[in-house]
Chains A and B, each alone.
Chain A
Amino acid sequence: MRRSNREHGELMKGNTPTLILAVLAEAPRHGYAIAREIERRSQEALSLGEGSLYPALRLLEADGLVTSAWEPQPSGPARRVYSLTDGGRAELAKRTRSWREFVQAIEGVITGGSHGPQPA
C-alpha cells in the first residue's frame, strides 16, 4: 500500500484540498479522523502525509472553505474539529466537476478516444 501511495504522491499534491473537502462534506472531523477517512475511502491506496494535512487545513480555513472549533470530547481532551462552510461545499462541487472532466480527458487519451464523443 505504501508503494501505491508513493506512486500517487504527485497526484496527491495538488488534490489534497479536494480530498479534505470531500471527507468533511459528510461530517465534521478532526485532523486525525480526516487522514484515516481518506485512507479508508481509498482502501488505503491514498495516504496523506500526516504532517501535510495541517498546512492544507490552514489554507482552506484562511480561504473560508472550512471552519474549525475546539470541541470537548466524551473521553479525553478537547479536539479541534473542522467542518465545511457553504463556500467549501460550492468549491468542492467545482473541484469535483473539474476532476471528472480531467479524468475523462486522460481516459480518452489512454483508450484512444473511445470514451469521449466521436467526431462526425
Chain B
Amino acid sequence: MDPNQLERYLDQLEAPLAQLPGAERALWREEVRQHLLCLAAAHEELGAEPDAALGAALQQFGDPERQGRAYGAAARRALGRRAQPLCRSLIALTMCTSALGSHVFADGNIGHFLWISVAIAAAHLPGALFLAQKAPIRLPGWALLLPFTPYLAFCSLYTVEAIRDHFRHGFFAPLLLCGAALNWFGLALCLLIVFLGSRRRDPATRATHPA
C-alpha cells in the first residue's frame, strides 16, 4: 500500500476546507483516513493487492474535491445552525443590560445600585451558563465574550461613578464600593463559566486525540 497515495488523496480532500478551523480539518482528515484504511482492508480481504485495495477504497469514497466541498458546505451550515442560540442570547443580554443600566443611571439612588447590580448579575449568569453549554464550539474565545461587553461597560461606569463620588465627598461610599466589587465579581464569574465551558467543548482538548 502506497501511503503517499493516501496522503495525496487526503490533501485533495482537505483543499476546499481552507475556511474551516485547522483543528476541525485535522480531525476530519484523521476520521476519513481511518475510514479509507478500513475500506482498503476489506478489499484486501476479498483478495485485492494492497495498492489495488487502496485504489479501490479511494474510488469508492469518491472524488476528493467534490467530497471536500460537500463536507465544507455541511460544516458551514452546521456552524450557522449552532450560531443561532448565540445570536439570540447576545440580543437578550444586550437588551437586559441596557434596560437595567439606563434605569440605574437615570435614578442615581445609591441604594438602588446594589439591587440593580444583583439583578444584572442574575440576568447574566444564566446567559453565561447557556453559552458554556450551547455556543458553537468553533467560535474563537473572544467571540464568546462579546455578549458580555455591555456588562463590562456597566462595571466600568459603576467604577467611574464610585471614583467621581470620592472626589465629590472626599471618601468612598461603602455601598458604591460594594456595588462596584459585586459587578466586577459577577462579570468575572460569567467570563470564567464561558471560558471553562468553551475549553470543555473544544474537540482539540476534549477528544482523545487520534494516534
Contacts and interface: CB of A to CB of B under 8 A. Distances in A.
B208 interface: yes
A73 to B, nearest CB: 9
A97 to B, nearest CB: 24
Nearest to B60: A50
B207 A31 contact: no
Contacts of B70: 51-52, 55
Given A55-B71, A59-B77, A70 B208 contact: yes
B47 interface: no
A108 interface: no
Interface in B75-91: 75, 77-79, 81-82
Interface stretch (B28-36, B121-129, B162-170, B174-182): B28-36
A69 B207 CA distance: 6
A55 B211 contact: no
Interface in B39-77: 39, 60-62, 66-67, 70-71, 73-75, 77
A105 interface: no
A70 B210 contact: yes
Interface string A69-84: 1111000111110000
A62 B31 contact: no
Nearest to A34: B35
B interface, size bucket: 20 to 34
A32 interface: yes
B35 A31 contact: yes
A40 interface: no
A54 B210 contact: no
Nearest to A56: B74
18 contacts: A30-B34, A31-B31, A32-B34, A32-B35, A49-B62, A50-B35, A50-B61, A51-B71, A56-B74, A58-B78, A59-B77, A59-B78, A70-B208, A78-B208, A78-B210, A78-B211, A80-B30, A80-B210
